[in-house]
Amino acid sequence: MSLDLIHKLVMQAQSAIIQSNSINTLESIRIKFLGKNGYLNQQIKTLNNCSSDMRPKLGAAINQAKKDIYTLFIEQQNILKSKNIKKTLITDALDVTLPGRLSDIGTHHPITNTIKRMKLFFTTLGFSITHGPEIDDNYFNFDALNIPTYHPSRDEHDTFWFDETRLLRTHTSGIQIRAMANKNPPMRIISFGRVYRKDYDQNHTPMFHQMEGFMIDDNINLCHLKKILYDFLYNFFEKKISLRFRPSYFPFTEPSAEIDVIEQKTGNWLELLGCGMIHPKILRQANINTKKFSGFAFGIGIERLTMLLYNINDIRIFFKNDLQFLNQFQ
């Protein structure tokens, strides 16, 4: 080994480093010259064969050669990394002038939209929202509502029964009974929920949504009922539609009434909701003083209200998961 050989190795390394054009190639050059078994470490192993006078000079020369090669290696490595970054920025550049890609955004179901609008109106009037079970019993679904045992709604062909006492609720009126038993007048309460009846055609489904509302206070009468419901319907349809308030019959209200609306396509009157003054018997069952308090109740089919709002002629489409239909309500 000689100083000339060390100088020659440094020149070879510097030339190879400068000519390298990739990080991987540069790394292989570093290992070749500076690695554990590289050229310069091999020269260190031969120092014992040198004279004692030359050994310090050669050792110092090898160490300096390592420093020079490593310094150049780091410089070239930084240059190549910078080039790679610039290349990546060019090839992966984002053209901000291109139009963005629209994402598919989910929407509220039309039934959900209707419920939100109904909640907004009635909560503004001071009504609170309460809930009840979908699996109910004879008492809350029928007996407490003054529905006699011979009433057709109790038959198996109209109601989904689990056994002799338990059933899927046929209306949300049972929530009214629970609320009256747990609260004291004055009361303003609304509820929303799924109800179940054995019926399936263009205007009926086995499961549908219903809203129940009632108010109990001093001197409540039909005028209050009619005023609130008319105001709600005018607000909901955002115009003064033609309505008809006519007498009807429900076991749990006395007197009872229904509100009809003119259907735009046919010009015929269409039943929209049922209502009336809460039957005194029901109030007494809840230990409410009928000499001091009176109240009204109403029930609204949410699907029917939605069909009228959006001019939909088949209730079954609400439950078909048809994206072409649902995307119309974005």
Amino acid found at 172: T
CA distances from 55 to 4, 5, 60, 67, 68 (A): 14, 14, 9, 19, 20
Joined together, the tokens standing for residue 268 give 């015929």
Q: CB neighbours of 55 closer than 8 A, spacing ≥ 6? A: 47
Joined together, the tokens standing for residue 292 give 């001091």
Q: Angle at the Cα of 116 (from 260 to 187), degrees rounded to 5?
A: 75
Q: What is the DSSP letter of 66?
A: H
Whose structure tokens read 């069909």? 307
Question: Helices in 125-211 by DSSP H: which ranges?
Answer: 138-141, 173-182
* Cα–Cα distance for residue pair 92/234, rounded to 1 Å: 57
| Residue 303 is assigned to a ligand binding site | no
Q: CB neighbours of 160 closer than 8 A, spacing ≥ 6? A: 167, 168, 196, 197, 198, 206
* Cα–Cα distance for residue pair 39/13, rounded to 1 Å: 10
Is the distance from CB of 199 to CB of 206 less than 8 angstroms? Answer: yes
Question: Helices in 184-313 by DSSP H: which ranges?
Answer: 222-237, 280-285, 302-310
Annotated binding site: 254
Annotated binding site for Mg(2+): 254
